[in-house]
A and B are shown apart, each in its own frame.
Chain A
Amino acid sequence: MDGVELQILWSNLIGIVSEQARALQRIAFSPIVREAGDLANGLFDEQARMVAQAVTGTPGHINSLAAAARNLLDSYDVDTLKPGDVLITNDPWMSAGHFFDITVLSPIFRGKRIIGYAGSTIHHADIGGYGIGSGARDIHEEGLWIPTMKLYDAGKPNETLFQIIRRNVRTPDALMGDLGAQVSSGIIASDRLNALCDRYGLDDIAALSDEIIARSETATREAIRKLPGGTYHGESQFDVPGGQVITLKTAVTIDADKGEIEVDFEGSSGPSNMGINVVPAYTHAYATFAVRSSLNPDLPNNAGSLAPIRLKLPDQCVVNAKYPSPVNARHVVGMYVPFPILKALAQVIPDRVVAEGSGAVWTIQIQGKDRDGKPFTSSMFNYSGGMGARAAKPGISAVCYPTGVSAVPVEVLEAAYPIAFTCKELEHGTGGTGKQPGGDGQRIGYRMRTGQPWLLNTIPSRLKAGPEGLLGGGDGAAGVFRINGEDVTDTRKREMQPDDEVFMITPGGGGYGAA
């Protein structure tokens, strides 16, 4: 296949997943999918290798989805799959690391043969159990566990499963609507892939997929081969809800001959009794994100470009969660995974890395009754702190990094739930100083417009110490979390009084280089 033919087919595949993702986002119900974009869409070949991903979404979902497709198909005899089948799971170890993320995978038939799969993972508004937060003591308190099964069998809905889901979540309509959007986006992808094959006279996409994956892998290996070989170390520390300090240590080994990188987490913190443990697929997602975005961000993300990056996880480790550890708020640790890796890479490619930033977005969920007594459960909403500085550019203030989500607008939240914000502004001076300063965090305050007690689930982090500056840059400021003016460190789900006010300042990003 020459460079021209391949380019045409390849942009077609990316077009298909992008169509799939946009349709999904348009018809989704929860603000977290539509406004925040907490989702992933991918197209897989018949061997379940990810060939293309949509340009929207978050690293945690996309790269986890890549693993999920393989896991789902390992647990099914693919020869028994029929047109109209749709597979589903929210198994944390099979897909994106907590129950909220439901992965749906549809086989794409061309005639009687499967030529690929369309997959999506989205963060659903609710999945029963504990809700957003890290307070559950084991995984079973965290909500409904959907093993790998068929959501549709030859186009017929699995009514038993639908009924079980409906009864076990707080927002059944939103969940059903979002699940419907996932299924619908799979149908669109299937139609489009068949149309592509018709247009170009292809029986399947096997040769195309081989070529894409091979070229991506080669280009990634070439990019690695340009780096000086050796083992480089990086370490990041941060405090999580409840005050515990987590250490992530990485030894990044660049094999410049083979063009491979291995990231070893030996020496990192052990498992936590809080719901912040990270399953390997999610660790892998953010580790590969850190490497790939530093190597060459223009290289596509697929099975080929991910292959040369391997992970080594200690058996007892916060980033190698084991059943029955709670995992609900795994992003609190998972979104810090890139930083020790970037610090190690800073010794090799200092011009391409990013200094430590605020890391995990702070997530919030509110539950209660409005003034008319109507109960509500919000979907998760999140706020960012400052991004770390780049070698030649300052860190961006109040922007989600490393995750790819957005914040839900104040007006959307106020219209959807009885919440009223008192402020949302940058907190100047929270970014670390340096040749390039870190991005600033933000101050956010809110209260409820209700006459009744309400429930607050929130997950701040870095309340004790801010992100470390890089190569002589100053540290970013730590975050602040207060209720009625008093600092709060224990952030399990808490009952709030009608007039209580929440105030928080998200951390600033680290600076880069001495000022």
Chain B
Amino acid sequence: MTRYSLAIDIGGTFTDAVLLASDGRTFVDKTLTTHNNLLEGFFRGVDLVTGRAGIAAADVDDVVVHATTVVTNALIERKGPPVAIILTEGFRDILYIREEHRYDMYDPQIEFAEPLIPADRTFTLKERIFADGTVGTPVDRDAVLGIIAECRAKGIVSVAICLLNSYRNGANEEAVRAIFEEEAPEIYVSLSSVIAPQMREYLRASTVAINAYTVPITRPYLTALIAELKERGFRQQPLIMLSNGGVIGAERASTMPVRMIESGPAAGALVACYFSRIFGIPDLISFDMGGTTAKACMVQGHEPLVTGTFEVDRRYRFKPGSGMPITVPSIDMIEIGAGGGSIASVNDLGLLKIGPESAGSMPGPVCYGRGGTDPCVTDADLVLGILNADRFLGGDMQLNLSGAEAAYDALGETLGLSREKAAWGVFEVVCEQMAAATRTHATERGIDYRGQPMLAFGGAGPVHACMVAELTESPKVIYPPLASVLSAFGTLVTPAQIDLVRSHVATLDTLDWCGVDTVLNAMIAEGATALGEAGIREEDFTYAFSAEMRYVGQQSEVRVHLENDPRKTRDARAIKDLFEAEYHRQYGLKLDGMNIEIVNWLVTASGRQPERDTGTVPTEGTRGTESRPVHIRGEAREVPVWQRHAITEGDRITGPVIIEERETTIFVLENWVVTRHDSGSLVAEKTGEN
């Protein structure tokens, strides 16, 4: 009996659909994203792939997984209904004061993103929890009733609550919620002690504000999705991809939309982990390059790196610091403002700069012929001969070569270089920007990136990956199948998973194990509930434990994975050894005689890894010895061109070579050799010195 699973990934431009059959067949398609009503594009994608497979909705008996940009869009568009925030009396302006920091020292013109919740919807409450968790002032019921009355008068539909030190003790926040539930059950309530129970008031307030702001948007969206899937006869409740790289039931996801922000990109990183297992390569660099941005993620030990904080909606020249910070577990990705649509220019120093300005998809690069006039990265790829004007999207979209050449004539003139040298310069600089960002990202996390293979996907990823790999000293680049819908596929190989984190600060030598038990048990109970809702059987539940630790006095923690359940072992000594080993690995130091403390406990509750694969990739097409001139390092070379599906196991193709498929082009440099792996992936390996 064939089982079917379905994945839909709604991105900024395209909605991707993947249908996997358990007999190995795979059906994929892309349709334009319908921004006014995302569900329209969702079901168009569903119809396309089920139509191809010739099955009905009711035949999809395995999971339906969904990754979406709905939360990110809501934050950027800011058209949501009125939302309020309740803060501790005396601390009304946490969202306005931020960290008192100018993120660009030299630019006096910087701006910040306007807080999501304005001053007239900010309320304060006389209450106090101290840093040790003791309640200084309990919540006054009448004061909360007063706030509820004002919320009603202002038509508030959702409220964020962030009280001082609630990361340590959420009692006062819970008390406020109880009163809201009793008196105003129609108002959604988000607690900072539940959404982001971590120290640092601005980070926590920003996070819970974002959650409260997006709940009224995602709830109806996901509710409608659940209803329509049911109506059409799909058997299972949909699962939603979260930023942390796990999936969770749509109903639960709708209460914590702040965890869905990196939904799509996280799926991409998960694919990288999937291939790292297939290839038996524990550590690799995932490299996803699209139209406006590129994303890199470090996979370590078959797992993606995760982070506690990231930023959305950068308002001023895409600069870090100009957006809103979020502190929830997320796959740790670096987003680089360099994609196929990034614009090349020459700055005051006479240097070639790429981005952050992007021509996007409208007007797009010059070669799209939609009115774009600025030279873009894709134009350079075309001028160099890496892309073929007649074969873009399998020939469905004719590219304008002469337009791109004219744009590069102009850029070359400014730089005093030929057209092709200018285009090669853009190719090289954009690759260097991505490599530099990756190197910084890796070292910041204590990872030596050198020698790690790279996995390339996204529309522009395979074009540039080999060059980026040269610069990050990666000896191997893997080009997986389904590259253009790979993130959607990623959601299908993702286990149900929820990451929980709680602050509970204590030094190792004074660790109160009963207190630790209470914290861990609460997280485990929460995890079990979430897994149950995602349809996971109890015998498949697993829990992984880690602790974020530091030397007393430090402000930044090192995450230490604990092999055993700390409730059972209660071994502070073993935890200390693990911390010291990890600290030494990251920083080459061990500090003797210093007290060590645990700041946060982390529990990852997950279901089993689903056993699905990309399906068979048939070998087809003419094995050709076609070629075309490509300008490499300022030199025109006749480069062979292959069709991807014509390459079979046993082939060894020496670079430079171009390998075309419908949605993307692989460009492999000299001194690299391409072979086909039995997973259907192509693998380029570096052979010798330049």
Binding site for B on A (CB under 8 A): 2-4, 6-8, 10-12, 14-15, 18-19, 22-23, 25-31, 33-35, 37, 55, 57-59, 171, 173-174, 176-177, 180, 184, 187-188, 192, 195, 199, 215-216, 219, 222-223, 289, 292-294, 296-301, 352-354, 383-384, 390, 393, 396-401, 404-407, 409-412, 414-415, 420-426, 442, 445, 449
Contacts and interface: CB of A to CB of B under 8 A. Distances in A.
Given A215-B350, A397-B97, A424-B91, A19 B440 contact: yes
Give the interface centre of B101, B347, B439, B588 by most chain A CB atoms within 10 Å: B101
Given A22-B440, A398-B93, A424-B97, 6 more contacts: A11-B436, A29-B551, A215-B349, A352-B108, A401-B102, A411-B200
Contact of B347 (A187, A297, A298, A421): A298
Give the interface centre of A19, A180, A415 by most chain B CB atoms within 10 Å: A415
Contacts of A12: 432, 436
10 contacts: A4-B417, A6-B351, A55-B105, A192-B443, A292-B106, A411-B164, A412-B199, A424-B91, A425-B90, A426-B93
B61 interface: no
Contacts of A219: 348-349
B101 A400 contact: yes
A2 B106 contact: no
Given A8-B428, A292-B106, A409 B97 contact: no
A31 B199 CA distance: 14
The 7 A-B residue pairs whose C-beta atoms are closest, nearest first, are A423-B90, A34-B555, A4-B425, A406-B101, A414-B131, A407-B100, A297-B107
Nearest to A342: B108
A27 B199 contact: no
Interface in B99-146: 99-102, 104-112, 130-131, 136
B171 interface: no
Given A7-B352, A411-B164, A411-B199, A399 B555 contact: no
B377 to A, nearest CB: 14
Contact size range, B: 35 or more
B594 interface: yes
B436 A29 contact: no
A23 B444 contact: yes
Contacts of B424: 4
Interface of B: 90-93, 96-102, 104-112, 130-131, 136, 164-165, 167, 199-203, 346-353, 415-417, 421, 424-425, 428-429, 432-433, 436, 439-440, 443-444, 450, 471, 473, 505, 551, 553-556, 587-589, 591, 594
A31 B90 contact: no
A180 B589 contact: yes
A393 B316 CA distance: 13
Contacts of B350: 3, 215
A504 to B, nearest CB: 14
Contact of B555 (A2, A35, A300): A35
Nearest to B431: A8
A223 B347 CA distance: 13
Nearest to A53: B105
Contacts of B167: 411
A404 B165 contact: no
Give the interface centre of A28, A215, A411 by most chain B CB atoms within 10 Å: A411
B349 A445 contact: no
B443 A19 contact: yes
Nearest to B473: A199
Give the interface centre of B93, B100, B417, B444 by most chain A CB atoms within 10 Å: B100
A296 B346 CA distance: 15
B356 to A, nearest CB: 12
B440 A184 contact: no
Given A58-B105, A415-B131, A27 B201 contact: no
A55 B584 CA distance: 26
B350 to A, nearest CB: 5
The B interface is mostly helix, strand or loop, or mixed, namely loop
Contact of A404 (B102, B203, B421, B471): B102
A413 B109 CA distance: 30
Nearest to B554: A29
Contacts of A215: 349-351
A420 B130 contact: yes
A3 B104 CA distance: 25
Given A215-B350, A426-B96, A297 B106 contact: yes
Contacts of A449: 130
A26 B130 contact: no
Contacts of B594: 173, 177
A422 B90 contact: yes
A429 to B, nearest CB: 13
Nearest to B107: A297
B554 A7 contact: no
A398 B112 CA distance: 13
Given A34-B555, A173-B553, A180 B591 contact: yes
Contacts of B203: 409
Given A11-B433, A199-B473, A37 B349 contact: no
A177 B165 CA distance: 27
A174 B554 CA distance: 8
Contact of B201 (A6, A29, A410): A410
Contacts of A25: 556
Given A7-B429, A22-B444, A414 B165 contact: yes
B348 A298 contact: yes
Contact of B439 (A19, A55, A184): A19
Contacts of A35: 555
Give the interface centre of A3, A10, A297, A414 by most chain B CB atoms within 10 Å: A3
Given A58-B105, A426-B97, A177 B551 contact: yes
B554 A421 contact: no
Contacts of A171: 553
